[in-house]
Amino acid sequence: MNQPKIIPSGSDLARTLKQEARRLGFDPVGIASAAGSDRLRLRTAALERWLAAGHHGSMAWMEDPRRRQIEKLLPGVRSLVAVGLSYYVRQWPQAGSLKVARYGWGRDYHRVIERRLRQLGHWLEAQVPGTSWRACVDTAPLLDKAWAEEAGLGWIGKHGNLIHRQRGSWLLLGHLLTSLELPADQASESLCGRCSRCIDACPTTAIREPFVVDARRCIAFHTIENRDPSLPAELSENLQGWVAGCDICQEVCPWNGDALQSSEDPDMQPRPWLLNLQGPEALGWSDQEWDERLRASALRRIKPWMWRRNIAAASPMPDLGETLPGP
């Protein structure tokens, strides 16, 4: 005769759930109540102001109303499990090479995080049969940084990235929404203080004021999302070698100092060519070569013609623009 399954208490389940998440490679891990706090509502209001100001540029998906209504993502949601995956690897591009944002060095984090979150969801469902859940990465219309802050993973810095005391801001975020009511962790408090290094360091003044980033001025936005044949002149003049994303505001953050632990996660290790990207050579790669080099990479969002556009802008050569193929 089958014995009825013993359902663990909320606190026991939360503890073992976090242990399982860490076993899957996530750290930090926290839990938030889907009801949200007053601060979450302030973050939502800030999103509305950011959208009204047009700071999202051409990223129309940021306007998705589900971003402000979490119950639309999972009817009956009661808790969120927020997870972080460090992508900091103690390596640097070779001198004189073009620069690519660290988040794109390894395997496509969307796939990595979603796969692991789904494993966590199936584990949770095995503990409490009948539980509904949904795995979300940053492609889902969710205020992921605000919810991570709510779950105690860290605080949103003045550069708009989440900062953790030990992991800094080199964190990829994911969330597991669930119908279970789990004990929530305490939300994080901001520790940026009066520091303005990220604001001062941005070469295009994209951080218009603390916590407000105007994508229309951002190197990361233009090198990844901009589909125009050429980059704005004022941006091209300030690329500083960045051709895929930009880490300047994170590199100067005091929470990203030398004490950070380097990730040993196999999925986060860099492709060697990304650390020695030479413009003249890369401009000669065919679309097929770009496709092969970027397999299973988050950087596939940047099409081959965009790579050439960005590289040409970051390392201009005589008459190069006239020979570059368009989109």
Token pair for 152? 């105690």
Active-site hit among 27, 38, 64, 138: 138
CA dist 30 and 182 (Å) reads 11
Q: Would you call 12 a catalytic residue per the annotation? A: no
Per-residue b or e along 223-262, where b marks 16 or more CB atoms closer than 10 Å to that residue's CB: bbbbeeeebeeebbebbeebbbbbbbbbebbebbeeebee
CA dist 82 and 176 (Å) reads 7
The catalytic site residues sit at 138
